[in-house]
């Protein structure tokens, strides 16, 4: 290496010492310069000599010079500058740091290979904290160790993810075991536990939870075995109780058979079926007989329900057809604008026939009624208007008649005045009184008609 390659230095008397350093993969460089003799002339610096020389100390990594310390020559004041917080111990600290990083990588590898899941997380977390606290000297060796460290931490993260998934998988098996522990299908459940145990063993480590999970599985299996043992030790008693229970369910099923509320009856019948499943075995001598009775009642019920709903749908269909026919009949009556007594009576009969038609089903019944009500109102509104017109016409005719009678009374009164014949006068007066009575009767008729018109 040429001394002049060091930036800021250019002295032919400088003494350069370079040595390889395997720890960080570079070279240690020491430069002695600025030495002078007693006359103040530049001379070759000598280590340990009192020649006022300065000292540059640092490292060379692939041509990149990094200063650790610089002591200026006595001629420049002799001050010491440090490029790192380690001061005079920079090289030693760097060596120790690099060595420790290598050791951490080795320790990580050893932990991962040991499969000591219980303490792995805690130990690796401690090493991670230590690694993050180490200074980065930016050397090639550190870069290599950093890559190795990152790779090992990735392996650890993967290892932890595998453990987490193993925990979930094993806990799922434990849940299945707990469900299986409630089963009374002894042979099937026993085989189920054998299969679950094989699955449990085939799953890798669950870390510190392994023992706890396996203990939960054992407890579920033990609970099943205990229940099975108790069952077989009390089998006769259990079968007798099962027989009594199934006979009770058969009795209840017969009661359900008489229930006309098919929705509530269906719910009850299904509930009885669930109880039947839980009732257990009554023994070979009774199970088939009891089931035949119970299932026969269920079949009869569901056949009865099917027939009921078929009949109901048919009735609703017929009801719908009748109501649509009545709607069309009313529409034609409205179109014909016939408000005769016979038609009016027919409209009243149609109302009765509508009610007698029954329910048409929840999907269309309300819609049919709204349509029927609309066309009915059209008829009665039109009839009302027609009735008012007829009243007004009658009133108008009676008013004309009244007017004519009053004119006739006026004419007779004139004739009475002009006549001197007593008999004729008497005759005219009698006619006048008769017409007044008639007029009064017509006035009363007009009054009554107007009152009726106002009430409509």
- Note the pLDDT of residue 3: 46
Phi, psi for 165 (deg, rounded to 5): -65, -40
Contacts of 31 (CB under 8 A, 6+ apart): 3, 6, 9, 14, 15, 16, 17, 55, 56, 57
DSSP element (H, E) containing 273: helix 262-278
CA-based angle 396:399:401, to the nearest 5?
A: 110
Per-residue pLDDT of the chain (456 residues; tens, 9 = 90+): 444 455 445 567 888 888 988 888 889 999 998 899 888 888 888 888 888 999 999 998 888 888 999 999 998 899 999 999 999 999 999 999 999 999 999 998 888 887 666 677 888 889 899 999 999 998 989 999 999 999 988 988 888 888 888 889 989 999 999 999 988 888 899 999 899 999 988 988 777 788 888 899 899 999 989 988 887 778 778 888 888 898 898 899 898 888 888 888 889 989 989 998 888 888 878 888 989 998 998 998 888 888 888 888 888 889 888 989 988 988 998 888 888 888 889 888 988 988 998 888 878 888 889 888 898 888 887 877 777 767 677 778 877 888 888 888 888 888 877 887 778 888 888 888 888 888 888 888 778 777 776 666
H-only helix segments in 27-139: 90-114, 117-133
Instruction: Measure the CA–CA gap between 374 and 321, rounded to whole angstroms.
Output: 18
What is the chain's Cα-based Rg?
59
DSSP element (H, E) containing 15: strand 15-21
**379, two tokens:** 């008829």
- Note the pLDDT of residue 431: 87
Place of tokens 């749908």: 313
Instruction: Measure the CA–CA gap between 312 and 266, rounded to whole angstroms.
Output: 17
Instruction: Measure the CA–CA gap between 190 and 106, rounded to whole angstroms.
Output: 48
DSSP element (H, E) containing 70: strand 64-71
- Note the pLDDT of residue 2: 45
SS3 letters for 20-33? EECCCCEEEEEEEE
- Note the pLDDT of residue 204: 83
What dihedral angle (degrees, nearest 10) is formed by the CA atoms of 173, 174, 178, 179? Answer: -20
CA-to-CA separations, 263 to 17, 232, 259, 298, 361, in angstroms, rounded: 103, 40, 10, 14, 16
- Note the pLDDT of residue 446: 78
**359, two tokens:** 């329910």
- Note the pLDDT of residue 116: 65
- Note the pLDDT of residue 438: 85
326: nearest Cα among 297, 291, 357, 294:
357
Instruction: Measure the CA–CA gap between 104 and 131, rounded to whole angstroms.
Output: 8
**pTM given for the model:** 0.43
Instruction: Measure the CA–CA gap between 261 and 140, rounded to whole angstroms.
Output: 87
Contact indicator for 33, 62 with CB cutoff of 8 Å: no
Instruction: Measure the CA–CA gap between 364 and 427, rounded to whole angstroms.
Output: 76
Alpha carbon 323 to its chain centroid, in Å, reads: 44
Place of tokens 């120790």: 96
Contact indicator for 154, 105 with CB cutoff of 8 Å: no
What dihedral angle (degrees, nearest 10) is formed by the CA atoms of 433, 437, 438, 444? Answer: 150
- Note the pLDDT of residue 11: 67
- Note the pLDDT of residue 10: 57
Residue 425 CB neighbours (<10 A): 15
Residue 184 CB neighbours (<10 A): 16
Contacts of 240 (CB under 8 A, 6+ apart): 282
């Amino acid at each position: 290496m040429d001394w002049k390659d060091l930036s800021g230095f250019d002295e032919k008397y400088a003494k350069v010492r370079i040595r390889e350093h395997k720890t960080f993969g570079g070279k240690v460089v020491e430069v002695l310069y600025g030495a002078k003799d007693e006359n103040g002339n530049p001379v070759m610096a000598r280590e340990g000599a009192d020649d006022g020389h300065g000292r540059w100390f640092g490292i060379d990594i692939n041509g990149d010079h990094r200063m650790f310390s610089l002591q200026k020559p006595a001629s420049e004041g002799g001050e010491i500058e440090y490029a790192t917080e380690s001061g005079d111990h920079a090289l030693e600290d760097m060596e120790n740091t690099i060595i420790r990083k290598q050791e951490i990588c080795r320790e990580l590898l050893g932990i991962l290979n040991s499969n000591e899941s219980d303490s792995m997380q805690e130990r690796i977390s401690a090493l991670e904290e230590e690694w993050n606290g180490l200074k980065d000297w930016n050397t090639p060796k550190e870069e290599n160790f950093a890559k190795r460290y990152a790779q090992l931490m990735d392996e650890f993260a993967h290892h932890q993810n595998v453990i987490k998934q193993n925990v979930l998988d094993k806990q799922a098996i434990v849940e299945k075991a707990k469900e299986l522990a409630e089963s009374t299908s002894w042979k099937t459940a026993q085989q189920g536990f054998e299969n679950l145990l094989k699955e449990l063993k085939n799953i890798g480590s669950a870390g510190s939870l392994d023992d706890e999970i396996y203990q939960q599985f054992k407890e579920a299996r033990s609970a099943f075995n205990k229940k099975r043992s108790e069952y077989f030790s009390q089998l006769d008693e259990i079968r007798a109780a099962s027989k009594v229970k199934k006979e009770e369910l058969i009795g209840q099923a017969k009661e359900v058979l008489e229930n006309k509320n098919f929705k509530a009856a269906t719910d009850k019948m299904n509930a009885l079926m669930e109880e039947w499943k839980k009732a257990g075995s009554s023994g070979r001598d009774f199970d088939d007989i009891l089931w035949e009775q119970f299932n026969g009642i269920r079949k009869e019920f569901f056949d009865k329900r099917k027939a009921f709903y078929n009949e109901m749908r048919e009735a609703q269909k017929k009801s719908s057809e009748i109501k649509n026919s009545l709607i069309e009949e009313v529409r034609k009556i409205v179109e014909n604008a016939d408000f005769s007594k016979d038609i009016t009576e027919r409209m009243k009969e149609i109302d009765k026939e509508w009610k007698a038609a029954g329910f048409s089903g929840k999907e269309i019944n309300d819609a049919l009624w709204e349509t029927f009500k609309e066309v009915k109102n059209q008829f009665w509104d039109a009839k009302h208007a027609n009735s008012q017109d007829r009243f007004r016409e009658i009133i108008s005719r009676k008013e004309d008649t009244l007017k004519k009678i009053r004119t006739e009374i006026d004419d007779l009164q004139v004739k009475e005045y002009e006549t001197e014949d007593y008999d004729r006068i008497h005759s005219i007066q009698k006619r006048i009184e008769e017409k007044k009575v008639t007029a009064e009767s017509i006035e009363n008729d007009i009054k009554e008609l107007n009152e009726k018109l106002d009430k409509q």
